[in-house]
Structure 1
Amino acid sequence: MALIPPDSASPSAPAPADALALYIHWPFCVSKCPYCDFNSHVREGIDVDAWRAALLADMGHEAALTCGRPLSSIFFGGGTPSLMPPTLVADLIAAAERHWGFTPNIEITLEANPNSVEAARFADLAAAGVNRVSLGLQALDNEALHFLGRAHDVAEGLAALDTAQSVFDRVSFDLIYARPDQSEAQWQAELARALSFGTGHLSLYQLTIEPGTRFATLVAQGRMTPADPDHGATLYELTAAMTGAAGIPAYEINNHARAGQESRHNLTYWRYGDYVGIGPGAHGRRGAMATQRHKKPENWIGAVSRNGHGLQLEQPLAGEERAREALLMGLRLGEGVDLARIAALSGVGLGHLVDERAIDQLTDLGLIRLTGTRLQVAPAGMLLLDAILPEVVAV
């Protein structure tokens, strides 16, 4: 394995002063899905004016600390941000442009539930400045949608997708597979149908049982049996083959896109770029400083009222921690990571980032590729990513 000699990277090498991404968290949902461990909450009444003021104040706090760096993307996540009044979305986008300015062709994404009520807002959301939506279809089978606790049925979901694709130039949707008792033939048919819609981006996730969710309780009680991991691996390989053949290959372990349709916002995370996070529970990173907002909506809005921002934690990141995060995030991407860049931004010597012996062994097995200083997990290795990362990452 050929690497630049250890310690050749300057510890004081600055991170590039590039554009920022902005994440805005709207924590409210109509109901809590049984698989969801996101920071989402069901509330009877929401004071939209109070939330508008709080989000604008939280944004202003971060803008004062990051001025001079334009935004390349905005992502409204949740929760269910498509429940936000379009006027609120417009106000937040306008404020972001005043604070930072936008790069040409900025990507502005909003997550949406695929039901008729929210689809009726799509034109107003586009007028507000949203130019990309991500729809939580989750399944193309009514029985599966009921199992997943979704409020829409297949017909309603596909109608929302059709509306989205007529309103927005860029659309993504999610599907959850490796559901209990889902056969290979069933997933093959479901995915083939999904690919027939011509959508530019798909997020395809295996069902995982997260602590604290309703599904975790059912599994603990013996009332639900997750898919066998070997079966999940078979479905993953089928997914990779079908999406690749359809011209929408994986660019990240769970995300697939046609050329030019990749999520620019999420690429900022995976490429270890800087991003601002506002709203309850939102995380951010300003260079070597990690930020975290108060998680519970009531705590966050109370903090904004008292302090002018919802910040709970600012934590300096040591070089080793930055290097580790950059490796763990970047190796999820098909493009992999540039070890020289990570050494420069972290100050950790290039030869200390990864375990050279492990890379040699995994290269021989066809699971890892190293070309110059670019390290990639091979397609065959993506199935084993969780096992490969601890072996490779040395920081």
Structure 2
Amino acid sequence: MIDHPTRDVGFGVYIHWPFCASKCPYCDFNSHVRHQGVDQERFLAAFRREIAHTAARIPGRTVTSIFFGGGTPSLMRPETVGAILDAIGGAWAVAPDAEVTLEANPTSVEAERFRGYRQAGVNRVSLGVQALNDPDLKRLGRMHSVEEALAAVKVAASIFERYSFDLIYARPGQTPQAWAAELKEAIGHAVEHLSLYQLTIEPGTWFERLFNAGKLTVPDEETGRALYDVTQEVCEAHGLPAYEISNHARPGAESRHNLLYWRYGEYAGIGPGAHGRLVTGNARIATATEKHPETWLAQVEREDHGVIEEEILTTEAAGDEFLLMGLRLKEGIDPRRYEAFAGRPLNAGRARILEEEGLIRMDGTRLAVTEKGFPVLNAVIAELAA
């Protein structure tokens, strides 16, 4: 049964809050600005309905992680967050040690809400710091200063057992030396977890327009590789090794919800533009909801759900997704799980060639990408999936 290796991993619930105070120029996420305000009561009612509808499809699960992403979930009132958590707890069993993460902007206003989120049931926050110098924060369209961000990190550390923050590197004009210094400063505040993303020019963003007009330059490929190498070296030396290509943690402090994705577990996607992977019988189903917040809202009020795309994944598609997700992890994959999803074993000849080239390693029942292989990860995955 192909669902067996899925259910062993756990079950997560992803809640998408699609609203932001402003749209960052690099961002291609499903986020929307509503200057006239948001009717949180109406959206809460819709979240409750979609949760109940999803639970009716896949009953009997035990929730091991919950993640509030966005958008900017820290624009939600703590009461709204608490009510959504109550709805999840009413729909499924929730593990006593479930990880409940909320993404937050590190502004002084939102930091004041942290205690309310903790009381609501959130036990981990992920802060969108993005840079530790004010000129770059301004260029990235962020609404906080470095001083505000570090104050918010300090507040988070005093309230939550676990917290993380994000930084973007390969920013315009950034040198490996400057990034190394910034990263060391960040680690001094991070304690257990950092998400470090290389800036990419995404289609449809303001940065893409500037880039195409020649008004924005990003580090070239060689400098980008040097920045990546510095990231690995500095984090490793300071006790936060990479456990995934963009995520670093002290051992045991990894994001459990993100591990659920990368280990190809089962998760429900709730809210505008949320994606899910549900398991019914032997089938793995990919779901996606309506992206536009008010259109999603109207559909949920009509039909109890906002799903507009649903696909039963073929064994080939499930196998490919498993590779795409699992090989991002330093721990790699169990090839037997690939065979359970894909209905066929990995090509031993291709795997042997990649191993001889030093791009992957086979260690007992695990296949993992090496440090040499991570910078060319997409090519490694393509070769194994062929």
TM-score interval for Structure 1 and Structure 2 normalised by the shorter chain: over 0.9
Q: Distance in 2 between matches of 1:265 and 1:66?
A: 19
**Deviation (angstroms), 1:229:** 1.2
Q: State the alpha-carbon separation in 2 of the partners of residues 31 and 252 from structure 1.
A: 29
Deviation at 1:311, TM superposition (A): 1.3
Aligned equivalent of 1:337: 333
Aligned residue number for residue 299 of structure 2: 303
Q: Which residue of the other structure, out of 15, 34, 37, is the alignment partner of 2:4?
A: 15
SS in 2 for 1:216: helix
**Contact 2:360 2:369 survives alignment (8 Å):** yes
Give the match for residue 326 of structure 1: 322
For each residue in 1:252-278, what CA deviation from the matched residue of structure 2 results, as whole angstroms up to 9, or x when unmatched?
Answer: 000001111101001111000000000
Three-state SS of the structure 1 residue aligned to 2:208 is helix
Does the 8 Å contact 2:74/2:104 carry over to 1?
Answer: yes
The alignment covers a number of residue pairs equal to 379
Q: Percent identity?
A: 53
Which residue, out of 31, 42, 59, partners 1:40? 31
Give the gaps of 5 or more residues in structure 2. Answer: none
The CA distance in 2 between the partners of 1:327 and 1:302, in whole Å, is 36
Q: Deviations over 1:318-342 (max 9, x none)?
A: 1110001001110000000111012
Give the deviation of 1:207 after TM superposition: 0.5
CA offsets, 1:92-132, max 9 Å, x none?
A: 11111111111131100000000000000000000000000
Change (3 A) 1:158 1:362: same
User: Is structure 2 residue 303 aligned with structure 1 residue 312?
Assistant: no
Deviation at 1:209, TM superposition (A): 0.3
Cα distance in 1, alignment partners of residues 382 and 323 from structure 2: 11
- Using the size of structure 2 for normalisation, the TM-score is 0.96
Report the CA distance between 1:199 and its aligned residue. Answer: 2.2
Change (3 A) 1:28 1:14: closer
Name the structure 1 match of 2:139: 147
Structure 1: which 5+ runs fail to align? 1-11
Highest RCO, 1 vs 2 (Cα 8 Å, sep ≥ 6): 1
Matched, 1:109 2:101: yes
Residue 185 of structure 1 corresponds to which residue in structure 2? 177
Q: Provide the TM-score with structure 1 as the length reference.
A: 0.94
Decide which of 207, 218, 225 is 2:217's aligned counterpart. 225
How far apart are residue 371 of structure 1 and its match? 2.3
1:204 to partner: Cα distance? 0.3
**CA distance in 2 between partners of 1:366 and 1:297 (Å):** 46
CA contact (8 A) 2:153 2:189 kept: no
Shift of 1:363: 1.4
Paired amino acid for 1:321: A
Note the C-alpha offset of 1:15. Answer: 2.2
Identify which of 8, 25, 31 aligns with 2:16.
Answer: 25
Which residue number corresponds to residue 344 of structure 2?
349
Which AA in structure 2 matches 1:174? Answer: D
Confirm whether residue 135 of structure 1 aligns to residue 124 of structure 2.
no
Give secondary structure in 1 for the equivalent of 2:126.
strand
Find the aligned partners of 1:257 and 1:121 in 2 and give their Cα distance. 26
Alignment of 1:1-395 (within 5 A): 12-16=1-5, 17-18=7-8, 19-44=10-35, 45-287=37-279, 288-344=284-340, 346-350=341-345, 353-354=346-347, 356-394=348-386
AA aligned opposite 1:21: G
| Amino acid paired to 1:182 | Q
Q: Identify if the C-alpha distance between structure 1 residues 80 and 21 changes in structure 2 by more than 3 Å, giving closer, same or farther.
A: same
| Structure 1 counterpart of 2:321, one-letter code | E
- Residue 5 of structure 1 is matched in structure 2 by none
| 13 and 239 in structure 1: CA distance in 2 versus 1, 3 angstrom threshold | closer
How far apart are residue 386 of structure 1 and its match?
2.1
Q: Secondary structure at the match of 1:76?
A: strand
Aligned partner letter, 2:176: E
What residue identity is the alignment partner of 2:380?
I
Q: 1:198–1:25: structure 2 CA closer, same or farther, 3 Å change rule?
A: closer
Whole-Å Cα distance in 2 between the matches of residues 126 and 192 of structure 1? 29
Q: Which amino acid is 1:312 matched to?
A: I
SS at match of 1:239: helix
In structure 2, distance between residues paired with 1:305 and 1:184: 51
Matches of 1:252 and 1:130, distance apart in 2: 24
